[in-house]
Amino acid sequence: TKSAMLLPTTALIDHGSGAMVFSIQDGHARIRPVRTSATLDVGQVEVVDGLAAGDEVVVFGTQQLSDGDPVDVHWQRWARRD
């Protein structure tokens, strides 16, 4: 049996032809189709196909991204520290 993954609903992109996410590959955002099963009431969605364990995905700011855009995965460097 394949186990499902949970992602924040903010990671999902409605692409018209189905759900998509931006995965991060070699420092670039790559659009990737996913199959979802259930949206949970805690702001998470169950992804049952299209991602593998350990895949990194963009969870915020997806509206500003295009396929192939460079992304900074080291957000801790510029995050606010109040």
Q: In angstroms, rounded to a whole number, what is the distance separating the alpha carbons of residues 56 and 37?
A: 20
Phi and psi of 74, rounded to 5°? -100, 55
C-alpha pair distances (Å), 6 with each of 12, 43, 77: 11, 10, 26
With 0-12 CB in 10 A as exposed, 13-18 as middle and 19+ as buried, what is 77?
A: exposed
- Whole-prediction pTM value? 0.79
Q: In angstroms, rounded to a whole number, what is the distance separating the alpha carbons of residues 60 and 38?
A: 20
pLDDT digits (tens, 9 = 90+) for 5-62: 889 999 999 877 789 999 999 989 999 999 998 777 788 999 999 999 889 999 888 8
